[in-house]
Amino acid sequence: MTAAILDGKALSEQIRSEIARDVATFAAETGITPCLATVLVGDDPASQVYVRNKQRASEKAGIRSQSFQPDAATTTEELLDLVHRLNYDPAVHGILVQSPLPKQIDERRILEAVDPLKDVDAFHPENVGRIVQGRPRFMPCTPYGVQQMLIRNSIPIAGAHVVVLGRSDIVGKPMAILLMQRGPGGDATVTVCHSRTRDLAAVTRSADILIVAIGKPKFVTADMVKPGATVIDVGINRLETGLVGDVDFEAVRQVAGRITPVPGGVGPLTIAMLLLNTLTAAKLQQAK
């Protein structure tokens, strides 16, 4: 028996159609078109692809897109000036600074400089704190996409043992926080694993839901997965043979009950959640 494939592309199209409908309603009622500003420093090819995909998705949803591409030699102060201009531009509702940033830039200062009401990545300390307290302004895009994948595929979360492999600020930590919160989409028992976890395979085999985000191609093998478990692969790794995830897909699908592919799994949902956050930002700023 092979695992059922969780189709993130199809689900994201459904969610994006819902967002497009809500954007049209909001624009008709207020005369305001939500706007997302993307900032890409330098010319990293992978980042350029990600930004283009976000811009196309924005336009399809009726969200206006602005793109800024400072030179790779840009300093922290120069980038801060751009962020401040976008903060004070009433026509811009969401700001996304594409990572990774060049080494000479202080990334923490940049992230903290983004207006929390325009922080559609949910990286600002104020927004992170609100997530921890269970009263989020914006949901972190990738973790929220994973949560929607589980909810909309009727995969039980409450009472389940979820193992999150990876403790990054972008995925691992917020993922654990979302799934442990009280209420719909939460109430899970969550274990976070990392490079210092002892007997890692024994821990991952105990998971009803295994979420993998460590940036190591095909790291999770079949012997690390409980039969029938749901496996969510957040990893995207570029090899000479193409894109692969952090999970050995062909081997693990023979053991798991459900599994996400790479590409076509979590990635499209991340973009959908970014669009949702941009609409939310526009609504918050209009109300203010």
Q: What is the pLDDT of residue 119?
A: 98
Q: Does 130 map to a domain?
A: no
Task: Give me the domain span that covers residue 192.
Answer: 141-267
- % of residues, the chain, pLDDT over 70: 100
Per-residue pLDDT of 40-56, as tens digits, reads: 998 877 777 878 888 89
Whether a cis peptide bond, with omega within 30° of 0, leads into 102 is no
Total domains, the chain = 2
Specify the pairing of strand 230-233 against strand 258-259.
Answer: parallel
Q: Does 219 map to a domain?
A: yes
Per-residue pLDDT of 256-284, as tens digits, reads: 999 999 999 999 999 999 999 999 999 99
Q: What is the pLDDT of residue 10?
A: 97
Which residue numbers are catalytic? 54, 98, 121
Q: What is the pLDDT of residue 197?
A: 97
- Please provide the average confidence, as pLDDT, over all residues in the chain: 96
Q: What is the pLDDT of residue 105?
A: 96
Within 10 angstroms of residue 141's Cβ, the number of other Cβ atoms is 25
Q: What is the pLDDT of residue 49?
A: 80
Q: Does 128 map to a domain?
A: no
Q: Does 155 map to a domain?
A: yes
Q: Does 11 map to a domain?
A: no
Give yes or no for residue 35 having a pLDDT over 90: yes
Q: What is the pLDDT of residue 106?
A: 96
Give yes or no for residue 198 having a pLDDT over 80: yes
Decide which of 120, 152, 176 is a domain's last residue. 120
Q: Does 172 map to a domain?
A: yes
198 plus 168 within the same structural domain: yes
Q: How confident is the model at residue 160 (pLDDT cuts 50, 70, 90)?
A: very high
177 plus 238 within the same structural domain: yes
Q: What is the pLDDT of residue 112?
A: 97
168 plus 67 within the same structural domain: no
The 3-state secondary structure of the chain reads CCCEECCHHHHHHHHHHHHHHHHHHHHHHHCCCCEEEEECCCCCHHHHHHHHHHHHHHHHCCCEEEEECCCCCCCHHHHHHHHHHHHCCCCCCEEEECCCCCCCCCHHHHHHHCCCCCECCCCCHHHHHHHHCCCCCCCCHHHHHHHHHHHHCCCCCCCCEEEEECCCCCCHHHHHHHHHCCCCCCCCEEEEECCCCCCHHHHHCCCCEEEECCCCCCCECHHHCCCCCEEEECCCEEECCEEECCECHHHHCCCCCEECCCCCCHHHHHHHHHHHHHHHHHHHHHHC
Per-residue pLDDT of 136-159, as tens digits, reads: 999 999 999 999 999 999 999 999
Q: How confident is the model at residue 24 (pLDDT cuts 50, 70, 90)?
A: very high
259 plus 161 within the same structural domain: yes
192 plus 261 within the same structural domain: yes
Give yes or no for residue 99 having a pLDDT over 90: no
115 plus 180 within the same structural domain: no
151 plus 91 within the same structural domain: no
Q: Does 200 map to a domain?
A: yes
87 plus 199 within the same structural domain: no
Decide which of 59, 85, 120 is a domain's last residue. 120
152 plus 114 within the same structural domain: no
**CATH code, domain carrying 156:** 3.40.50.720
180 plus 252 within the same structural domain: yes
170 plus 104 within the same structural domain: no
**CATH code, domain carrying 110:** 3.40.50.10860
Q: What is the pLDDT of residue 241?
A: 86
148 plus 253 within the same structural domain: yes
